Amino acid sequence: MRQYTQFYIDGQWVDPATPNTADVINPATEQVSGTISLGSAADVDKAVAAARRAFESWSQSKVADRLQLLEAIQAEYARRQQELGEAVTEEMGAPIALGTGFHVGLGAGHLQTAIEVLRDFRFEERRGNTLIVREPIGVCGLITPWNWPLNQTTVKVFPALAAGNTMVLKPPQLAPYSAQILAEILDAAGVPAGVFNMIQGQGSVIGAALSKHPDVDMISFTGSEPVGVQISKDAADTVKRVGLELGGKSAWIVLDDARLAENVAAATAGMMVNAGQTCSAGSRLLVPRARLQEAIAAARTAAEGVTVGDPRGDVAMGPVVSKGQYNTVQEYIAKGLDEGAELIAGGAGRPEGLDKGWYCRPTVFVTTNDTTIAREEIFGPVLVVIPYDDIDDAVRIANDSVFGLGGHISGEDRDAAIGVAKRLRTGAVWVNGGFDFHAPFGGYKRSGNGREWGEHGFAEYLETKSIIA
């Protein structure tokens, strides 16, 4: 049983202002796995005051000193990476190979990227008679989600730290363990008092207090669209910068070529990674209408081949994060059936042999783009296959969404795939599985604003000053 009942404020582990605890449930067993404290506005005030005091000196620190600190964090992170991965598996149900692999690897990658960007970043640039200076924005409130807890925490903490800011982190209540260990890593690495602070608790309390706080200069939030809208409203009165990475209903376009069946299978399996709880997942699989039956066969075989079970074992998919999320997925499956979508794999309920834990069946529907399951973000292992007539039709369907976070293209002709990618109204497009830690990531439309990852993510934490001589 994990007992995380203190917050990290001003370089110390401290008790909350008012004692208030909550249980954390292991989604694989439905049993209590630990306890955390729930913070209050008073804890936020204390943490923000510490961050404001620390900003005066940390914002003026030398690049060399920040690099030295980041490298010390890197050493501590490497030492505890197995522990971090195990925490991810326990808190949100990712299979242990995924937790200790890609989940932890994403955090390590964002740390290395922050180091690389900081080494080469030009904080001053002269243009004519003007000196353009980039300066840290100030005290940052960082609010992170449960689905990729290390990724979404480190992609905010490390660039903000490298850029010279101070911060208050609010980790997800459903998945708080990995953030607690990360705070221990930062403490052991020697982060100066007040530079990094962490308060566990409810988003409606801690997130709102940070968003409204007059001494917080920036909010960076990853999560659902309704919460992002509320944060924007809460932050408006103090005119602080708000960066939002919100929902998605990304299209995965499979081009008509000899590798269609292989690409459909890969897209289907890819959708089920992390139990479908990925904001940029290709949850709408667009295939040529003339080859729909071939695509259906490939998708069905791939979905039925996804092993589901105890995330501590050798499985491809564990449970979804909570009972609430499980119920949401079941409601969408029922809605798909009610609206006449064709179920070709999976369906309602748990997989056979699993009677405890929030396990869903890898599910695939064939439908049109106007159904609920094709338009709303399900955030579970539910894929919709949508046929298209030609490339223009595929682009039209892909862009017919209120979201615009991610997109995927699979095809033998790389140049043709890139040409299609340029036509999508979305913040990132992965062509044949490309990956780059320096690629800016963020949304069009209701998927948010601002960018994370690489130099663009680093720049989000800076103000621009002109000195005209």
Strands (E), 306-405: 342-345, 363-366, 382-388, 403-404
Query: What do you get for the CA distance between the two ends of the chain, in Å?
Result: 61
The helix/strand/coil state of 272 is: helix
Of 59, 67, 70, 53, give the one whose Cα is nearest residue 11.
53
Residue whose structure tokens are 């992965």:
430
404 vs 315: CA distance, rounded Å = 31
294 vs 393: CA distance, rounded Å = 19
Which one is catalytic: 86, 91, 245, 460?
245
187 vs 193: CA distance, rounded Å = 9
Encoded tokens for 194: 């007040």
Encoded tokens for 142: 């960082």
244 vs 235: CA distance, rounded Å = 12
Is 172 within 8 Å of 186 (Cβ atoms)?
no
What's at 8, amino acid-wise?
Y
418 vs 90: CA distance, rounded Å = 39
Mark out the alpha helices in 323-404 (DSSP H runs): 323-338, 372-375, 391-399
Is 407 within 8 Å of 448 (Cβ atoms)?
no
Of 188, 201, 85, give the one whose Cα is nearest residue 141.
201
What's at 94, amino acid-wise?
A
Encoded tokens for 88: 């991810």
- Concerning whether 245 is annotated as a catalytic residue, the answer is yes
Encoded tokens for 463: 């103000």
Give kind and range of the element (H or E) at residue 259: none
Is 206 within 8 Å of 181 (Cβ atoms)?
no
Q: Would you please indicate which residues are annotated as catalytic (active-site) residues? A: 245
